Amino acid sequence: MHVTTEMQLVADLVPAGARVLDLGCGDGALLAHLQQAKGCSGYGVEIDDHNVLACARRGVNVVQLNLEDGLALFEDRSFDVVLQLQTLQHLRNTEKMLRETARVGRFGIVSFPNFAHWPNRLSVLRGRMPVTRTLPYEWYDTPNIRVGTFADFEVLALRNGLTILDSFGFHAGQAVRRWPNLRASVAVFKIERG
């Protein structure tokens, strides 16, 4: 199985044997990796038919749901870790989903494109919305209906009574811990309910 460095970085944050809920789990690659490499168990949530099929092929537990409908299927604190990787930016109910993440899991790991990454800032300075590897869409056809920054998320977490346990950036296969708001294309936060 191909494990990307971003996947491995997130996997490092998940304790061995943890019960994991992966919101927007895609083809289930990360869950499969967590099961095999760290003895984790749990479920993925996914809306896309092809991804649900890919999870079924791998034998990764998957529940086909629209995250906009909330997580009523899952009891409070029924998971050790809730992953919400590269998902937040597609959701209308951003705040609700963050609170749901913190309700269902002991802690959550959230990642999203960092709009304040310096090439994006340059692009906006030049008067144009950025089109990059992390943000590959034109402004008029982007599925990213929420564009925020590393620094913005710190404010949002506070607003929703969430405690940030750890945070760092991610760029070009490397963790970025120094000036992540400027130097990282992806923001990663480990959060728990206040």
Partner 1 sequence: MPLLHTMGSIGHVTPQKMAFEAPLPLKSGASLAGYQLVYETYGRLNAARSNAVLVCHALNASHHVAGTHAGQDKSEGWWDNLVGPGKPLDTNRFFVIGVNNLGSCFGSTGPMQTNPATDRPWGADFPVVTVEDWVDAQARLLDRLGIDQLAAVLGGSLGGMQALSWTLRHPERVGECIAVATAPNLSAQNIAFNEVARRAIITDPDFHGGHFYAHGVLPRRGLRVARMIGHITYLSDDSMEEKFGRQMRAAELGYSTQDIEFQIESYLRYQGDKFSEYFDANTYLLITRALDYFDPASAFGGDLSAAFATARGKRFTVVSFTTDWRFSPARSREIVKALVDNRIAVTYAEIAAPHGHDAFLLEDPRYHGLLRATFDRIAAGLASCM
Q: For residue 40, which of 70, 63, 67, 60 has the smallest C-alpha distance?
A: 60
Which listed range, 72-80, 108-116, 149-157, 164-172, lies at the site for partner 1 (CB under 8 A)?
72-80
Of the two residues 73 and 158, which places its CB atom closer to partner 1 in the complex? 73
Of the two residues 105 and 130, which places its CB atom closer to partner 1 in the complex? 105
Which of 3, 13, 53, 129 is in the footprint of partner 1 by CB under 8 A?
Answer: 53
In the bound complex, what is the minimum distance in angstroms from residue 77's beta carbon to partner 1?
Answer: 13
End-to-end CA distance of the chain: 37
Q: Does residue 183 sit in helix, strand or coil?
A: helix
What single string gives the DSSP state of each residue in 86-132? S-GGG-S-HHHHHHHHHHHEEEEEEEEEBTTSHHHHHHHHTTS----
Of the two residues 70 and 119, which places its CB atom closer to partner 1 in the complex? 70
The interaxial angle of helices 49-58 and 29-38, nearest 10 deg, is: 20
Q: For residue 26, which of 4, 18, 173, 165 has the smallest C-alpha distance?
A: 4
Residues in 111-150 that interact with partner 1 by CB under 8 A:
none
Which of 73, 122, 155, 158 is in the footprint of partner 1 by CB under 8 A?
Answer: 73
CA–CA gap between residue 19 and residue 21 (Å, rounded): 7
Which listed range, 10-18, 52-60, 148-156, 165-173, lies at the site for partner 1 (CB under 8 A)?
52-60
Of the two residues 62 and 110, which places its CB atom closer to partner 1 in the complex? 62
Residues that bind partner 1 (CB under 8 A): 19, 41, 43, 49, 52-53, 55-57, 59, 61-65, 73-75, 78
